[in-house]
Structure 1
């Protein structure tokens, strides 16, 4: 097993001090589970982080451990049904924003406005939208990035190598059909906890 690498820190404006306990907890989780972080956060203070593949509920605590370890201030969209007592307050503290997928109209526009009104923002999204296999990624992440004029940060959870890989940011051209295969290709060799082909 390779030793855990030093955690790359995001820009100061994107860091959130949650206290020493949560920082130590995140680092200990990654170390004891044998995970390491490769790559670095971009200098850009605004981006859409695309996390894939999403094949298991274990992806969430792994992502939370990373957020705690590097003191990252991040926002993410989650099913509204998850935001119920007793977890509602905790999920919002983690940056969660409830979204009703049955009435998702306006979500892209709301996220674009959030970028426009924030001095710094990382929005984390799982484009597969579900732990089950999908034939095509949801493209809201791309529409948000283009609308807000921000780069896309590809992040992979590789369970084969136990590596969280922060890839170089991708600047969308505005041509979805051209860019989507290029983004998906970055994850082609990454294995989630449950192996399945990537769309």
Structure 2
């Protein structure tokens, strides 16, 4: 599992978590395929998202890659005693039942031109959905940053990093295209994908 993070990608410090996650992923039989772009700003779209285990796998991969990432999570999980931990590893609580301009807020973050990698699950839930949310595509288009699709393939035990995608104004077509990219990736719970 010899993966080196490209030089421009925001890097997380901490050798202990790096070594621990590297050993655990290897012991569990997971491998990383592909390469992140050598950029300071991009969005990671992780799919399919059908289980709580996806989050824990994602955290292990984040520590293994030494990737400094921000991620959106429903506000209800940001409670004591895990709120501090979630915030420290990059979590941003989001109230999903109300529209608070999350897309606009994320675009503003990217417009600051500071290093930022934002990871999220396009489905927006672990339940089965026919159409993915388009917020991540709106953010990518408005902030002019690429989206890197990453599949968690539980059948192959592979973290599949796909080529970055530049999103244009046709958000609906982009949604369809993204769902197609993940059609061969086997979810933890395939019946929910």
The TM-score range, normalised by the shorter chain, is over 0.9
> What is the distance in 1 between the residues matched to 2:95 and 2:116?
22
Matches within 5 A, 1:48-197: 48-196=43-191
Distance 1:107 1:11 in 2: 29
**Offset, 1:105:** 2.5
2:19 and 2:68 map into 1 onto residues whose CA distance is: 16
Query: C-alpha displacement at 1:197, in angstroms?
Result: 6.2
Residue of structure 2 in register with 1:11 after alignment: 7
Unaligned runs of 5+ in 2: none
**How many corresponding residue pairs?**
193
Q: Distance in 2 between matches of 1:98 and 1:10?
A: 28
* Post-superposition offset of 1:22: 0.8
For the 8 Å contact 1:77–1:99, the answer to whether it is kept is: yes
Assess, with a 3 A threshold, how the Cα gap between structure 1 residues 104 and 10 changes in structure 2: closer, same or farther: farther
Q: Distance in 1 between matches of 2:125 and 2:169?
A: 25
Q: Does the aligned pair in 2 maintain the 1:48–1:150 contact within 8 Å? A: yes
Aligned 8 A contact 2:126 2:192 in 1: no
Q: In the TM superposition, what is the alpha-carbon distance from 1:174 to its structure 2 partner?
A: 1.4
Instruction: Report the CA distance between 1:113 and its aligned residue.
Output: 0.2
- Following TM superposition, where does structure 1 have runs of at least 4 consecutive aligned residues deviating by more than 4 angstroms? none
Which structure 1 segments of 5+ residues have no match?
none
| Root-mean-square deviation (Å) | 1.3
